[in-house]
Structure 1
């Protein structure tokens, strides 16, 4: 909220150079801002009384946008890549999938390993957990288990992340 949009009876005023000007009526604060050819901007609306600052509103918005953009640049986005396995996978295929997962993990992504069961494969769930164990053994040097293997519906899921 800026200038006339501020409807509070009293506000805590901060000057343009950051010094505290104290608690005063919103009208007086607005008059001080207009005398300085600047805007009265509500900085902290939830405070008691609300905090307002005398600033150039266009410059203030530009600074906020720049800070937001800078913060966005510094944050790291981790993707979740999925590797799908079947209960009757061969060793060479398992090695290929493990190498692909290794690439994802070293790039900084999380890997969701899912072992999907179809039809009569559901009868052999117990013997299939060893597939996930051997998959993890191939990646033990670069990965740790974030979430251990867990059965959900017709699939078993396991999440791997990069070792720190």
Structure 2
């Protein structure tokens, strides 16, 4: 089976995208990109996969899990490559989650001086803010820093 020139080898796509071939294979295993196979069972990627990879990298960069990215890509008609309009629509749908993460990270940054389970780095201070680990007794397995609070 001869593939059109519109397909790239993994090495060509890796060079064009700036990713390692192993990253391409990883994204393929995760269902984020697809390849076809030659008669010699070698992978070939459609050229527009580079745009899909750019989308994936941007979404990963803002902290989205690969599962969410895969769902977003699966929502596109016929599995097509995302357009600027798709990115705009999908990024709006992720906004609330990202705002929550930003609030959590801001809180973590602001409270970093006191951050073990009860909220501080000092066992002496814990006795003041959380005597006898009351918080841990009331909320086992929870971390006060990971709770999102409206300030």
Same-fold call, TM cutoff 0.5: no
User: Greater strand share, 1 or 2?
Assistant: 1
User: Greater helix share, 1 or 2?
Assistant: 2
TM-score, normalized by length of structure 2?
0.27
TM-score, normalized by length of structure 1?
0.25
